[in-house]
Amino acid sequence: MIVPREPQTPASVADHYDELDPFYREIWGEHVHHGLWATGLETPDQAVEGLIAHLADTLALETGQHVCDIGCGYGATAEWLAAQYGTHVTGVTLSSAQLRQAEKRAAQSPLLHFIRQDWLANTFPDGIFDHVYAIESSEHMPDKQRFFDEAYRTLRPGGRLAVYAWLAREKAGAWEERLLLEPICREGRLAGLGTVPEYRDWAEKAGFKVDGIENLSAKVKRTWTLCSGRVARKLLTRAEYRRYLLNAHSRNRVFALSLPRIWLAYTTGSMVYGLLTAHKPSSLA
């Protein structure tokens, strides 16, 4: 696993999303995840929705099921799933700023419930969820084994898990680690970037049967061209963006450096965007 030279904590992750909240909502919108271009012809909004439609297919959601969104951001994915499938979604986030937006969604739908909690120290009872998913949150967690152990514990037997994750190339070279992967971790408050075999291993050690790990890098990479363009335009047209970047007290301004770095890491294959799907066996027999 690639780890940042400054260890990340739940507090530093929460601070990242709280301080950057206005920028995230303007640049990414309410979905803080990649878009998925299945045909290549989708608009950016269609691509963002495409990723959660892909998730819904993967989980084979049914009306009335109870699902957990680990690292739910602003709750937009949960809202979409509840509206399209009639599923109950419980979302957890570390960020107060995100929770405030998510709670506005919950006020409009009895199917939605959000809390601010560290997944690695969650208080959910055993076997409470039909399905569990994480979109780009496991990277922030230092103890990946516990991430999977908790997913396994809170899932009912037969329940499915879907994890969309930023991953590091297996056996990344020294230059990739130094110039791309370590800085990406540090600048984005990622506690660690695991590899495909590591994710498989953690899932299996937790007790899951892994159904597959799909490499979606080519279908999501365009996200970073779009985001870099949006940030560049804001910097040219909006003084508060320039002030934030030039202010030495802006604790998370370093994240701006990651935008071109991530694009480059996908281009070189140093970083991979993967979907791990797994299920909790129905019986121990």
> Please, which residue, 7 or 281, has the CB nearer to ligand SAM?
7
Amino acid at 152: Y
CB 271, CB 167: distance < 8 Å: yes
Which residues in the 22-51 window bind ligand SAM by CB under 6 A? 31-33
Sole window of 136-144, 177-185, 249-257, 272-280 interacting with ligand SAM (rule: CB under 6 A): 136-144
Q: Does 137 bind ligand SAM (CB under 6 A)?
A: yes
Minimum distance between the CB of residue 274 and ligand SAM, rounded to whole angstroms? Answer: 15
CB 81, CB 52: distance < 8 Å: yes
Minimum distance between the CB of residue 119 and ligand SAM, rounded to whole angstroms? Answer: 4
Sole window of 38-46, 73-81, 154-162, 271-279 interacting with ligand SAM (rule: CB under 6 A): 73-81
Residues 6+ apart with CB under 8 A from 4: 182, 185, 186, 190, 191, 192
Q: Does 13 bind ligand SAM (CB under 6 A)?
A: yes
> Please, which residue, 90 or 98, has the CB nearer to ligand SAM?
98
Q: Which residues of 256-283 are buried (b: 16+ CB within 10 A; e: fewer)?
A: bebbebbbbbbeeebbbbbbbbbbbeee
Q: Tell me the number of residues near ligand SAM by CB under 6 A.
A: 24
In the numeric block, which tokens belong to residue 145?
């084994």
Which residues in the 224-263 window bind ligand SAM by CB under 6 A? none
Minimum distance between the CB of residue 284 and ligand SAM, rounded to whole angstroms? Answer: 28
Minimum distance between the CB of residue 28 and ligand SAM, rounded to whole angstroms? Answer: 8
Q: Could you give the CA distance from residue 273 to residue 266 in angstroms, rounded to a whole number?
A: 8
Sole window of 65-73, 171-179, 212-220, 245-253 interacting with ligand SAM (rule: CB under 6 A): 65-73
CB 61, CB 67: distance < 8 Å: yes
Q: Could you give the CA distance from residue 219 to residue 46 in angstroms, rounded to a whole number?
A: 13
Select from 72, 168, 184, 275 the one that contacts ligand SAM (CB under 6 A): 72
Per-residue binding string, ligand SAM, 91-120, x by CB under 6 A, is -xxxx--x-------------------xxx
Going by C-alpha positions, the residue among 189, 139, 197 that lies closest to residue 171 is: 197
Select from 10, 44, 127, 207 the one that contacts ligand SAM (CB under 6 A): 10
The three-state secondary structure class of 29 is coil
Q: Which residues pair with 155 in a beta bridge?
A: 129
In the numeric block, which tokens belong to residue 168?
């590091």
Minimum distance between the CB of residue 140 and ligand SAM, rounded to whole angstroms? Answer: 4
Q: Could you give the CA distance from residue 82 to residue 62 in angstroms, rounded to a whole number?
A: 10
Select from 2, 61, 141, 151 the one that contacts ligand SAM (CB under 6 A): 141
Q: Does 59 bind ligand SAM (CB under 6 A)?
A: no
* 226 CB-contact burial (10 Å; exposed 0-12 / middle 13-18 / buried 19+): middle
Q: Does 140 bind ligand SAM (CB under 6 A)?
A: yes
CB 139, CB 113: distance < 8 Å: no
Residue ranges that bind ligand SAM, judged by CB under 6 A: 10, 13, 17, 31-33, 71-73, 76-77, 92-95, 98, 118-120, 135-137, 140-141
